[in-house]
């Protein structure tokens, strides 16, 4: 079992000695500097973790990981379309193969190149994908919260992967809260390394980023065939806003729209109040 720690401040005393540890399940979580993560990925014990309070904890793996997983999502921010979460799991030798085929952060790749890599990744690693529709996203926003839903689904994919070491792209907001929820959902011994922008640092997370993006692009393509060109689906896209304004003016709310998003709620409210859609921000 790799001895990993999650550094941070916890007034309830859940983080002791810089770590968040479950006494029965035996797994631990870590948030730290990517140098420590790279050493873990290579099965090395050298390197330090740098926590929020500046703690420096030496990482010494008890044994190399037998299966390594990376988890990432695509489509968290759009007002249209699904959220897609992907998990890619490989044995240690598979990490090198991912690097050899040119895996990198999906945002730095063209759509065609992502498609090509997705096929190669699928031949090297085991890929699991969850497609979360707009209605399910809305329910999460209105009940448990989007971060909690993501943590729950991330944990589900990590457990299904059979990995004993997982790298997760941590959300920019409230990473400690996210980590605790993820931690609470794990039911078997596993080590999870959380880091912001992990998709640009670890090949397994980059591979998951590619898988999530490709699947989401395919799903969005199907929606465009049915509903027309609505742009990127992001609130700041003028084409997306015009599409939403047209829907709001007709009193329509098709299932592809995330009704819990403030962009949609504002447009609907202004329409109900008699404001012209083109006058919206």
pLDDT category, 35, cuts 50, 70, 90?
A: low
Q: What are phi and psi of 185, to 5 degrees?
A: -90, -15
Q: Do residues 52 and 9 lie in contact, with contact meaning Cβ atoms separated by under 8 Å? A: yes
Cα dihedral sign, 29-159-75-167: positive
Q: What are phi and psi of 192, to 5 degrees?
A: -125, 125
CA–CA separation, 230 vs 242, rounded Å?
Answer: 8
Averaged pLDDT for residues 163-188: 81
pLDDT category, 45, cuts 50, 70, 90?
A: very low
pLDDT at res. 64? 63
Q: Domain locations in the chain?
A: 65-223, 229-279
Give the angle subtended at the CA of 136 by the CAs of 118 and 148, to the nearest 5°.
85
Q: Do residues 87 and 160 lie in contact, with contact meaning Cβ atoms separated by under 8 Å? A: yes
CA–CA separation, 146 vs 166, rounded Å?
Answer: 21
pLDDT at res. 194? 82
pLDDT tens digits, 213-265: 999 999 999 999 999 999 999 999 999 999 999 999 888 889 999 999 999 99
Q: Which CATH fold topology does 65-223 show?
A: Nucleotidyltransferase; domain 5 (3.30.420)
pLDDT category, 29, cuts 50, 70, 90?
A: very low
pLDDT at res. 146? 93
Averaged pLDDT for residues 87-115: 93
Helices (H) and strands (E) in the chain, counts: 9, 10
pLDDT category, 180, cuts 50, 70, 90?
A: confident
Q: What is the pTM of this model?
A: 0.80
pLDDT at res. 280? 44
Statement: residue 185 has pLDDT above 60 = yes
Tell me which of 1.20.1740.10, 1.20.1600.10, 1.10.10.460, 3.30.470.10 is the CATH number of domain 229-279. Answer: 1.10.10.460
**C-alpha torsion angle, residues 231, 233, 237, 243 (rounded to 10):** 70
CA–CA separation, 131 vs 126, rounded Å?
Answer: 17
Place of tokens 């085929």: 101
CA–CA separation, 54 vs 51, rounded Å?
Answer: 5
Give the angle subtended at the CA of 95 by the CAs of 92 and 98, to the nearest 5°.
155
């Amino acid at each position: 079992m790799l001895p990993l720690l999650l550094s941070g401040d916890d007034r309830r005393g859940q983080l002791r000695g810089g770590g968040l540890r479950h006494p029965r399940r035996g797994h631990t979580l870590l948030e730290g500097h990517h140098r420590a993560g790279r050493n873990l990925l290579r099965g090395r014990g050298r390197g330090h973790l740098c926590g929020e309070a500046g703690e420096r904890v030496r990482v010494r793996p008890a044994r190399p990981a037998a299966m390594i997983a990376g988890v990432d999502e695509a489509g968290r921010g759009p007002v249209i379309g699904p959220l897609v979460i992907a998990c890619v799991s490989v044995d240690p030798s598979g990490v090198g193969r991912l690097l050899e085929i040119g895996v990198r952060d999906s945002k730095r790749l063209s759509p065609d190149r992502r498609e090509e890599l997705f096929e190669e990744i699928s031949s090297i690693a085991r890929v699991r994908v969850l497609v979360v529709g707009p209605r399910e996203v809305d329910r999460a926003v209105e009940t448990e919260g989007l971060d909690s839903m993501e943590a729950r689904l991330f944990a589900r994919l990590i457990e299904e992967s059979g990995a004993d070491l997982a790298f997760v792209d941590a959300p920019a907001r409230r990473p400690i809260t996210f980590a605790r929820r993820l931690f609470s959902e794990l039911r078997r011994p596993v080590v999870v390394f959380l880091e912001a922008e992990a998709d640009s640092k670890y090949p397994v997370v980059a591979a998951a980023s590619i898988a999530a993006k490709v699947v989401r692009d395919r799903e969005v393509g199907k929606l465009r065939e049915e509903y027309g060109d609505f742009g990127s689906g992001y609130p700041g896209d003028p084409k997306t806003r015009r599409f939403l304004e047209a829907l709001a003016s007709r009193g329509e709310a098709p299932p592809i729209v995330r009704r819990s998003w403030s962009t949609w709620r504002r447009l609907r409210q202004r329409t109900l109040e008699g404001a012209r859609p083109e006058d919206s921000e």
